[in-house]
Chain A
Amino acid sequence: MSAAAVASPAAPRGERLYWALLVLPCLFLGLFYVVPVINVLVMSVTVPRVGLSNYADLAANPAVRRVLWTTIRIGALTTAITLLLGYIVAYALVHTSPRQRQTLLAIVVASFWISVLIRAFAWVAILQSAGLVNSVLMGLGLIDSPLQLVRNEVGVMIGMVHYMLPYAILPLYANMSGIDRSLVPAARALGATPAQAFRWVFLPMSLPGLIGAGIIVLIFSLGFYITPAILGGGKTIMVAEYISVQISETLRWGLAAMLATTLLVSVLLLVFWLSRFMDVEAALRK
């Protein structure tokens, strides 16, 4: 009797066990996640009456359009600023000495431990009219009256960029660590200036990292709730906060469901579209 013959009846039993272990989490997810999501999708075309009237609001309702436009604008700007700052930090991380790298990484990771709520209120304290930034600037005589840094889009974006930075830095850092350190010197030896070596060699090679980090940051940014709610001061309203208002205050559940569905579908389409670039890039690197 070979070992395989002895082992073969055990294999299906082992496999059955794996599936059995999966049943509970699947059941949990199905009951408390998938069903409610489907419920939301259904609600968006059935409440208050059957039809696409909720979706017509996307074009017809100025308030909805304004909220969507604000969300897209803030999401895109936050992503752009976060990627730029994150790229600089990741670049420094890769090129600095191992000891400084440890310190820098610790600082980056430490910000994960502070709750988003605390961070939002901290920013209010720092950015408000009598806050640290304004009092320093006024103390130095650089400005006469306090700058409006909070309860507007500027404040929202500062808070969001701050929250999103580690999510951009870590994937960028992982990507840049994989770039062969001899390539930029090789480009220099072959006649490229430092700027050309960066543009023609380092930047294209870090593009997969940029796309990956960009997707993560953009998706998070579109669904931000607490940070814009606190730092926007009710004036800058993004879609997540608007949905919450429709559900808990104005009770227009159909409209809220429609917006939630729109957000979900847009993000899925975005990921699907960007993942096509990612696959090409990933294939190139293998």
Chain B
Amino acid sequence: MKENLILSGIEKRYGDAVALQATDLEIKAGEFVTLLGPSGSGKTTILMSIAGFVPPSAGRILLDGQDVTGLPPERRNFGVVFQGYALFPHLTVNDNVGFPLRARGIRGAEAQRRIDTVLEMAQLGAFARRLPRQLSGGQQQRVALARALVFEPELLLLDEPLSALDRALRKDFQTEFKAIHRKVGTTFIYVTHDQEEALTMSDRIVILDRGRILQSAPPSELYERPATEFVARFLGKSNFLRGRITRVVEGGAELRCPALTSRVSIGRQDVPAIGASAIAALRPEKIKLHPSAVPADACSAKGQVVDITYLGSVIDVTLALADGTTLAATVPAGSIALAEGDTLVAAWASDAAILVEPDAERGA
């Protein structure tokens, strides 16, 4: 188990349309990597190129130094869990799971032993003689997973495997996928458009938009230090402060916006020029609300409460600033007396806002 997967400049065009711009990605053996992006971002194209169903227009795919770009899917030895599961309706659970072994010429007692082991792991022992249509959605999902793992593949590719399940079941599976990943140690490459799935399970998240990778980092880094406006928006909620750089200081800068002035940390960007226009992302939960007094060494803005949403443990508050823009804050419930129309001071630490790359013009 030391294979690592390298995508080197892979690209996919359909005529003039570019589904995937030249992309480099390295995935370490045993890693749980999630490709996260909206539809049309190229995440499924990457997955299907790795699986062997979509030949890249350019670039190479290397597995442990071996070029596998031209290999047909059946010679790659990767497990694939398809979006609709793609279980064989005419075969029992046992035979569905045994299918990859049959294709590899593994039969008889050895095959049955492996099938039983993986069915046990997927808690499907009691359903071995059933047909897929006799199972619930969650059970079908387990069969698809068991079938993709039974031949101990070098890589497991999962294409939005939870999209057909309800919310409670999705949460259970997130825990289960993580546990199975720990147990089998296989590299997981997981495609989803659900940020929660990506955050909870992955060692690393690769965020894609419009056919290119925007950022690739562990979940906490991605959340704390988003590289672009899109990443900050797509992963969690964020306020965006738009203004001009007025000062550059050690490790940060000063951003002057119409309604406020904030210290910002530079994050992953180049040190900005003074006078340049810039955008900073500020997470709502980094904002504290005060009746009036502001702690020293904090950035602040005065605003009027226009909306209060009670969410149990926390409260979402929307403040209207002097220039009409709004600022969203998430504060612990009960931390401050709130009423619509109140004027409050929002404050945040000097390193809480972080410069991000503005989105390119959409639809260009």
> Which A residues have a C-beta under 8 Å from some C-beta of B?
180, 182-183, 185-193, 196, 200-201, 204-205, 284-286
What are the nearest 4 A-B pairs in CB distance?
A: A186-B86, A191-B103, A189-B80, A190-B100
Contact B104 A191 (CB under 8 A): yes
Q: Does B120 contact A (CB under 8 A)?
A: no
Contact A189 B73 (CB under 8 A): yes
Q: Mark B63-101, 1 if CB is under 8 A from A, else 0.
A: 000000000111001111011101011100000000110
Contacts of A190 in B (CB 8 A): 74, 79-80, 99-100, 103, 147-148, 151
Give the CA-CA distance A205 to B103 in the complex, in Å: 18
B72: nearest chain-A partner, CB-CB: A188
Given contacts A204-B90, A205-B90, A286-B133, contact A192 B103 (CB under 8 A): yes
Contacts of B73 in A (CB 8 A): 185, 188-189
Q: Does B51 contact A (CB under 8 A)?
A: yes
Give the CA-CA distance A286 to B90 in the complex, in Å: 11
Contacts of A196 in B (CB 8 A): 103
Contacts of B90 in A (CB 8 A): 204-205, 284
Q: Does B13 contact A (CB under 8 A)?
A: no
Partner of A185, one of B86, B103, B133: B86
A190: nearest chain-B partner, CB-CB: B100
Contact A186 B74 (CB under 8 A): no
Given contacts A189-B74, A191-B74, contact A183 B88 (CB under 8 A): yes
A286: nearest chain-B partner, CB-CB: B133
Contact A193 B89 (CB under 8 A): no
B157: nearest chain-A partner, CB-CB: A189
Contacts of A284 in B (CB 8 A): 89-90, 131
Contacts of B72 in A (CB 8 A): 188
Distance between A184 CB and nearest chain B CB, rounded to angstroms: 9
Contact B99 A187 (CB under 8 A): yes
Distance between A281 CB and nearest chain B CB, rounded to angstroms: 9
Partner of A183, one of B51, B79, B83, B86: B86
Contacts of A180 in B (CB 8 A): 84, 86, 89
Contacts of A204 in B (CB 8 A): 90
Distance between A279 CB and nearest chain B CB, rounded to angstroms: 15
Give the CA-CA distance A67 to B102 in the complex, in Å: 47
Given contacts A205-B89, A285-B89, contact A189 B78 (CB under 8 A): yes
Contacts of B148 in A (CB 8 A): 190
Give the CA-CA distance A286 to B134 in the complex, in Å: 10
Distance between B197 CB and nearest chain A CB, rounded to angstroms: 21
